[in-house]
Structure 1
Amino acid sequence: MDLPSPQSLPSLIERYKRDPESVYHTWFVGGEARMKAFRAIRRGVKDTVDAINAGSFGNDFKGSPLEVVLAAITEQKQVFEGAAHPFYWKPKLRIPDIYENEANQRTFGRFLEACMNATREDQVLAEMSRLGRASIKGLGPAAANIVYFLHPTLVPPFNTAIVNGFNALFGARQKLGSWDGYLAMRETIIRANDDQPGLSKDLGAFAGLLFEIGSNRIVIFGNADRVLEELREKAAKAAKKRHQDALADEKEASEHTQAQHTLIRIGRALGYDVFVARNDRGRSCHGESFSALTIPALPPLEVASEVRQTVELIDVIWFGKGTSELVCAFEVEQSTSIYSGILRMKDLALSLRQRGAHFYLVAPQAREKEVLAQMTRPALVSEVRDFELGYLPSGELKAECDAMCRYGVDRSVLRKIARGLNLGP
């Protein structure tokens, strides 16, 4: 297959990177959720493999650890919208056949485990080919979306818009559902990405470009007069929605920052050392710089280096004054990421040798039922001793901030407004 001319692809990439509302900016380089997702999803994949090996996976997508993985993936902006659908159990069609067929389920588990442990490209490709040859009914290359979060430089994401963008850009006729087609598409993406060093080794960047083209956000015909009226209308609607999404993201970021500021103020007033996510240290709220209010780095923690990197992205953490004793950890979830937020904190709880830390999700009161439902899911909170998880309504937290700062003695002041599981003193 011929690649686009050297003049056309660089021009498209430049337009893609220059647009502040493209998924390149809102998801790939500007999305905090993406940075936080990788280890949480990897942990979820391990839980899925362990459940399959133990025979406790279940016979439905709902309630399984695989649902947790796909929920964390689908939170990654529009690029992964609908990524969970191929894994929903469809009883009438008996697909995907990994819920009733134990042999197929174990084959899928071996595929995930092998991909998780792979260290080379040939190993990952061999596992994809092996899964394809197994011909498990209803289980196609949608599984590549999971593998992307295990090997982002080797495996590109996959959905309808990305395939449509690929076909438009390369003049191809690839279809959904074929592992052979996906692997051929991957080879072309790898070649094109290697020839264009202006993006990233992470194939999510190039997949985002294909997504923009396939969604008609980037029109590649050059002359607008040649674009069909239907495409123009779709592009206009897509642009309008993208702008609305960008405004919503901006509002959410502001509310997220305000919630972090509230937690910083309360933690400092209670006498704790406060750490804010390393990628948020440059923020400020109400004229107060986060870097001036918080400790410059995490204190020493007895965790692996990769766990420490995840911990550094948790929104706010309180430590004992001058110590490495973790007192409370907070994830602020204004609109999405409930799954992945819990997974990150579960990961920290599993990795810490110390006990007694409290973990909180901070979210608007309108999400209370949703948050509490997810907090009590067995796949999320089981097998973790002393994982004391609570929910704090962000509105009440803000309203009671001054009182907590003035009258609070220690972290127990949060129990005045906390909901959820029983928390220790």
Structure 2
Amino acid sequence: MENSSLKKLIEEYRSDTESVYNTWFLQDKDRLKSFRTIKAGIKDVVLDIQNQTFGNDFKESSLETVITAISEQKQVFEGAAHAFYWKPKLRIPDIYENEENKSAFGSFLNACLLAKDDKKVVDEILKLNEKKIKGLGPAVANILYFLHPTFFPPFNTAIVNGFNALFHKKIKLGSWLEYLEMRETIIQTNEKYRHLFSNDYGAFCGLLFEIGIGRIVIPENVEMVIEVSEAKKLKTFKKRHQQVLDDLLEENDHSEMQYLLAKLGKDLGYEVWIAKNDHSKQRQGKVLGELSLKKLPQACFSEDVFRTVSLIDVIWIDKIGQFVGAFEVEKSTSIYSGILRLHDLATSMGDGKCQLYLIAPKKREREIQAQLLRPSLQTSLKSMPISYITFSDLKCDCDAMGKFGHDISVLSKISKKASY
């Protein structure tokens, strides 16, 4: 494609309000949160493999937690888990029953976690490729993306289809070497148009994804788009449009919970902090930032922990500046991500005085209990356990608790703890 045509294509992609660029890369607040969650989850995978507690199936493994967090990233990563499902008839991917392969996979992930530059990770990819582990291909690049988004692009069928159409290539899904070839072209093109994209390759790969699913039509993918029946194409576009509407509804529910928690905290006499990236959002005619402190007290946190804590959805602070309650709202995003931020707060404070809560729909109650009963969390959160409150209970009882309650203890009436 000529430079002028590609530039115009990129500009149209950026200006489309329903494009991956706008609905995921720029606007999805959970995208940035997910990087830390996934990195922490990969550390768990490495430890499980090293301690020989990883198991022989994808289901209920620490790897499933990681891949689920990736799959929850809207649109681009929807099918990321498929490559990691254990397929017993084919014995793939062969990292569950073969101990040598499992160990090699763990060593690869650990080396990538610790890598400071892309050359080290490329060397590790080549070493892993030499192992010829059956069924373990470049789908792992989706993990690499969340470890090093400025080094490695994500990789799936739609992205490859879009890449092949745009650059007249024939890259295959199952080859690490062809993934690395694709990566080089993406790096060169992204560098050329970086003023329209980002150092993070998610922006560029979003364009490839749109071309690959036929949502963006270029001369090179016309035949593919035509081959897809009108009914199927319409169904795909309707699904995409519905996804955008669902995202908006989720955002509204999330903001409503933050608003109710902020209002209740103030009614009980506390200062309130709302996650810094949500200050501009509005609910019930109020800008959330107007209900929040302008600056979160740093207390004794390190810089890394402070950045994480400042993203906690709502925090209640008493008159002497002590944190008394912290709340993470999780409608459909990773419960593990919310737990991790609360865990950082708990382990940094260590005095047991701040009460921790997950706020979620009732339909996620079993999932919350399962996550909170993880043995590692049971140990590390012993002094500051996490409770949970359902959306419906908070909505129903918020006004009454604000009217008749005296302090945070009023939440004991509607909060629950996980138990066996």
C-alpha displacement of 1:222: 8.9
1:327 is aligned to 2:324: yes
**Which whole-Å CA distance do the structure 1 matches of 2:398 and 2:129 have between them?**
55
Match of 2:27 in 1: 30
Alignment of 1:378-417 (within 5 A): 378=375, 383-417=380-414
Of the candidates 207, 210, 231, which is equivalent to residue 208 of structure 2?
A: 210
Alignment of 1:41-190 (within 5 A): 41-190=38-187
Instruction: Show CA shifts across 1:133-177 (max 9, x none).
Output: 121221111111111111000000111111111111111111111
1:271 is aligned to 2:262: no
On the 8 A contact 1:44/1:343 being kept in 2, the answer is no
Name stretches of at least 5 consecutive residues in structure 1 with no aligned partner. none
The residue type equivalent to 1:117 in the other structure is L
Instruction: Show CA shifts across 1:61-109 (max 9, x none).
Output: 2222211111111111111112122222222222222222222222111
**Which whole-Å CA distance do the structure 1 matches of 2:311 and 2:352 have between them?**
21
Of the candidates 181, 188, 191, which is equivalent to residue 191 of structure 1?
A: 188
Match of 1:306 in 2: 304
**Which whole-Å CA distance do the structure 2 matches of 1:331 and 1:217 have between them?**
35
On the 8 A contact 2:298/2:306 being kept in 1, the answer is no
1:419 is aligned to 2:416: yes
Change (3 A) 1:153 1:338: same
C-alpha displacement of 1:232: 5.5
C-alpha displacement of 1:416: 1.0
3-state SS of paired residue (2:356): strand
3-state SS of paired residue (1:80): coil
Instruction: Show CA shifts across 1:173-223 (max 9, x none).
Output: 111111111111111111111111211010010111111111111111299
**Which whole-Å CA distance do the structure 1 matches of 2:93 and 2:52 have between them?**
18
On the 8 A contact 2:356/2:387 being kept in 1, the answer is yes
C-alpha displacement of 1:336: 2.8
Change (3 A) 1:389 1:55: same
The residue type equivalent to 1:407 in the other structure is F
Change (3 A) 1:382 1:158: farther
**Which whole-Å CA distance do the structure 1 matches of 2:132 and 2:220 have between them?**
41
C-alpha displacement of 1:330: 1.3
C-alpha displacement of 1:229: 5.9
C-alpha displacement of 1:235: 4.2
Provide the TM-score with structure 1 as the length reference: 0.92
Alignment of 1:331-370 (within 5 A): 331-370=328-367
**Which whole-Å CA distance do the structure 2 matches of 1:226 and 1:109 have between them?**
39
On the 8 A contact 2:165/2:220 being kept in 1, the answer is no
Of the candidates 239, 246, 253, which is equivalent to residue 251 of structure 2?
A: 253
**Which whole-Å CA distance do the structure 2 matches of 1:382 and 1:234 have between them?**
50
**Which whole-Å CA distance do the structure 1 matches of 2:27 and 2:212 have between them?**
21
C-alpha displacement of 1:331: 1.5
Match of 1:17 in 2: 14
3-state SS of paired residue (1:361): strand
Change (3 A) 1:139 1:382: farther
**Which whole-Å CA distance do the structure 2 matches of 1:328 and 1:196 have between them?**
45
Aligned length: 418
Match of 1:240 in 2: 238
3-state SS of paired residue (1:271): coil
Moved more, 350-359 or 59-68: 350-359
C-alpha displacement of 1:57: 1.9
**Which whole-Å CA distance do the structure 1 matches of 2:377 and 2:230 have between them?**
44
**Which whole-Å CA distance do the structure 2 matches of 1:315 and 1:291 have between them?**
12
Change (3 A) 1:125 1:200: same
**Which whole-Å CA distance do the structure 2 matches of 1:165 and 1:381 have between them?**
45
3-state SS of paired residue (2:76): helix
**Which whole-Å CA distance do the structure 2 matches of 1:157 and 1:290 have between them?**
34
Instruction: Show CA shifts across 1:30-69 (max 9, x none).
Output: 0011011111111111122122222222222222221111
C-alpha displacement of 1:387: 4.3
On the 8 A contact 1:212/1:218 being kept in 2, the answer is yes
Moved more, 88-97 or 21-30: 88-97
More relative contact order, 1 or 2 (CA 8 Å, 6+ apart): 1
Match of 1:289 in 2: 287
The residue type equivalent to 1:305 in the other structure is E
On the 8 A contact 1:49/1:110 being kept in 2, the answer is yes
Provide the TM-score with structure 2 as the length reference: 0.93
Instruction: Show CA shifts across 1:241-293 (max 9, x none).
Output: 22211111111111111110000011112222211011111122222232221
On the 8 A contact 1:342/1:380 being kept in 2, the answer is no
3-state SS of paired residue (1:245): helix
**Which whole-Å CA distance do the structure 2 matches of 1:14 and 1:388 have between them?**
48
Of the candidates 200, 204, 223, which is equivalent to residue 198 of structure 2?
A: 200
